[in-house]
Structure 1
Amino acid sequence: MLPGGRRIPDQGDGTGKRLRRGPLAYHCAAEPRRHGRLRGHLLRRRRGGCGARHPNHCEAEASAYAPSTAIAPGAIGTRYHLHLRLGDGHIPGQSQLFNNHIPLDPELDEAIAITKTAALVNVSRGDLVPYVITVRNTLDAELYQMSIVDTLPPGFKYVEGSARMDGHEAEPSVEGRQLTWDRLDVAIDGEHRLELLAIVGAGVSEGTYVNRAQAFNAQTGEPLSNEATASVRVVPDPTFDCTDIIGKVFDDANMNGRQDPDEPGIAGVRIISARGLIATTDQHGRFHITCAAVPDEDRGSNFILKLDDRSLPSGYRVTTENPLVLRATRGKMIRFNFGATLHRVIGLSVAEEVFEPGSTEIRQQWESRLDLLLEELGKSPSILRINYLAEIEDPALVRRRINAIRREVTRRWEEQECCLELTIETEVFWRRGEPPQRRGRR
């Protein structure tokens, strides 16, 4: 017997012998019948009766010692009786059974060390994924009749003719997503390397997919190894799933929001997406972003771009919608165009003397200046820049005075119902470099 294991369950196909316990051996009655086919992991029973028949006993094998694990299953020296019948008979030649070395299956949950790897991390639909499975015997005995079962992820399919076992063709039996290689033997410290290809199906959605492999006992179906896994991530295809962005920043001289034949592009302007992607226009004002987004497969997605007006040439202002939102469809290109033009900048400088002391009311002698300002603004699109030159005033009062002038100019501009757009900017300059409160705290 091979110690250190568990008993193999009776298969009901034994020799029909009777057995009772004797002082040194098994006492048998009844004629031996043909042996069954039950096999252990390490040894295999052979057909036939006694190896040596004597007047009062039967020897299953000639040797009193258990066969070495180096002997292959089914070879000479591995005969044994498993199914015996208990009785009191003393039939000559069958009274006792000697040298009946019954093999016991050891616990083989970790007899095989198995690993699985994928050559690719990111794949797209239609790509071929190379997998490698490596199995290694960790026992001090040879293992026979082993099988490797590989389960492909949903939507993946085995490429027929691609499997190689240690460099030789080794086609598996295929049943759905399960691939099986049977009748494998592994020597002591032996190793097998199994390579195969799988193709990603057209219906596979984006995400992570896990391939699983495990070694089993081909006779009992019990696992011989851990479960090895290899993961790949299905990502959008750059050609068929991504949305590319192209566009242009142009000098919109007539401010109609469209690029006319005589309106050139503007170079060196930055375009920024909500995800932080940045593009800079070339010498012709053109830009593009490759695979800027992967829109929703069913209904598409919105995509937003903003022109960084700080990167425009001095005096230029955007004349089109900014930021701009367009609808993106998977696999289709979309175009973003931005217009900008050179605006007139008209400066309006004010100081404390323009207002009544301690208030935001404009003194009467300066009221007529506002009418002249509006007349100049109405000649062409302009930017009004209000500059306040402060000295010792309260900063809060300065802010209220600037806002008061801004509101008054805006009110009078709207009353004229002019078709031109007016942009107002404000700045504060302190004669002494900073507000008086800060100097006091020092």
Structure 2
Amino acid sequence: MKGLIPLWQHRHWLLTMLLPGVALLQVLPGVTQETLQISNTGSVIFRAPNSDTPRTVPSNPTTFTAVTDVADLEVVKTGDRSAAEPGDTVTYRLLVRNTGTAAVNNLVVQDVLPLGMQFVGKSLQGTVGSGTTSTPVALPEPTTNNRTIAIAVPNGLAPQQTLNLTYSVVLTPDAIRGSGRNLASAIGNTGTREIRSNTASFLVRIRPGILSDCGTILGRVFVDKNFDGEQQPGEPGVPNAVVFMDDGNRIVTDPNGLFSVANVIAGNRTGAIDLSSLPGYTLAPNLYRIEANSQSRLVRLSPGGLARMNFAVTPAFGEQSTR
């Protein structure tokens, strides 16, 4: 055949010659290998220009790996409560399934805890089973790195086996600054092939409990006889005095002249005494601190903290200092 295009331009023809050889490959029943190394070759017969003699050109051998059995990991995560606060203990359950047809070796389950959750030592328990039967499995104590827990499973998982893990964490005060969501996954190998699971998550809603960004203001209104701004023995509290806070709250003192305001947003807070609620009294002068000679008080309230706000008054007819 004359006028043929050179061989290197017959790429499609060469490919179609190789494909039938691959198509004849099949994995026979009873083969227990997880992977097979497959070699394939092909050849092309052609006639060169100005020649009637056919020529055969063999291809280079091509080798690829065929996987006959593959493992597949699936992770499901649950917890024993949906909400918690600092000091509480949460118990997690991890279910790891091998839904594939090959065993998983060197299996490690990882859980990344949110800020403020700490693993409780010796709380890890595990069982392995298939179907409705399960048996306890001995597991080494997990390793922890920052907030990541790594649980090694010495014997791995056989096909269609399920691993059940339970363990506990305790919430620290830092938990109120965390997301409450942790992420769990599993990794292992089948032969030389790495197997990774999905990433499962579980969310615990964090309640502040007794820990909060808000604080409490305590105070008193009292008769200051020596004009030092501090309540001394013999200086009685004044009941029914009205104090207005900067957020609009109206506070009335008890029979001992005391008052308190809870759940106040942290920061600079001010309060002012309403002298019209105290007939016969006026603001007591302070002989030691100029800033105390005002109807208002400024305090710095830290998150979750306490601040004191006192008001000293004196009878309006002008009681003299005892000093």
- CA shift for structure 1 position 253: 7.4
1:250 deviation in Å? 1.9
Q: Deviation digits for residues 351-398 of structure 1, max 9, x if unmatched?
A: xxxxxxxxxxxxxxxxxxxxxxxxxxxxx57xxxxxxxxxxxxxxxxx
Is residue 114 of structure 1 aligned with residue 87 of structure 2?
no
Match of 1:174 among 143, 165, 171: 143
Structure 1 contact 212–230 (Cα < 8 Å) conserved: no
The answer to whether the aligner puts 1:303 opposite 2:275 as a matched pair is no
CA distance in 2, matches of 1:174, 1:267: 61
Check if 1:286 corresponds to 2:240: no
TM-score (norm 2): 0.54
Contact 1:137 1:191 in 2 (8 A): yes
Q: Does 1:78 align with 2:32?
A: yes
Which structure is higher in RCO with an 8 Å CA cutoff and minimum separation 6?
Answer: 2
Question: What CA distance in whole angstroms lies between the structure 2 residues aligned with 1:287 and 1:163?
Answer: 49
Query: Which residue matches 1:211?
Result: 182
Partner of residue 132, structure 1: 92
Quote how far apart the aligned CAs of 1:335 are.
2.8
CA distance in 2, matches of 1:81, 1:206: 50
| Aligned equivalents of 1:186, 1:81: Cα separation in 2 | 17
Distance, in Å, in 2 between the alignment partners of 1:104 and 1:315 is: 94
Using the TM superposition, give the Cα deviation of residue 151 of structure 1 relative to its aligned residue in structure 2, in angstroms: 1.7
AA paired with 1:134?
Answer: L
Note closer, same or farther for the CA distance 1:256–1:87 as it changes in structure 2 (3 Å cut).
Answer: closer
Q: Indicate conservation of the 8 Å contact 1:114/1:215, yes or no.
A: no
- Normalised by the size of structure 1, how large is the TM-score? 0.42
Structure with the bigger percentage of strand? 2
**Alignment RMSD:** 4.9
Structure 1 248/175 Cα, relative in aligned 2: closer, same or farther at 3 Å? closer
Aligned residue pairs, count: 252
Aligned partners of 1:291 and 1:134: how far apart in 2? 38
Q: 1:325 corresponds to which residue?
A: 298
- Please show how residues 3-402 of structure 1 align to structure 2 within 5 Å: 21=21, 66=29, 78-79=32-33, 82-85=36-39, 103-105=68-70, 108=72, 112-117=74-79, 119=81, 121=83, 123-124=85-86, 127=87, 129-135=89-95, 137=97, 144-145=103-104, 147-153=108-114, 157-165=118-126, 170-177=139-146, 178-181=148-151, 182=153, 183-185=155-157, 192-198=164-170, 200=172, 207-209=177-179, 210-219=181-190, 220-230=193-203, 233=206, 238=211, 244-251=216-223, 259=231, 261-275=233-247, 279-289=251-261, 292=264, 302-309=268-275, 312-314=277-279, 316-319=281-284, 321-328=294-301, 333-340=306-313, 343=316, 380=317
Structure 2, unpaired ranges of 5+: 1-19, 43-65, 128-135, 285-292, 319-323
In structure 1, distance between residues paired with 2:98 and 2:176: 38
Instruction: Give identity over the alignment, percent.
Output: 16
SS state of the match for residue 266, structure 1? coil
CA distance in 1, matches of 2:108, 2:94: 13
Letter in 1 for 2:145: G
* Higher Cα Rg, which structure: 1
Q: Per the alignment, in what secondary structure is the counterpart of residue 143 of structure 2?
A: strand
Task: Tell me the CA shift for residue 82 of structure 1.
Answer: 0.9
Quote the Cα distance in structure 2 between the aligned partners of 1:121 and 1:85: 58
Mapped contact 1:173–1:179 kept (Cα < 8 A): yes
Question: In the TM superposition, what is the alpha-carbon distance from 1:338 to its structure 2 partner?
Answer: 1.3
Aligned-partner SS, 2:36: coil
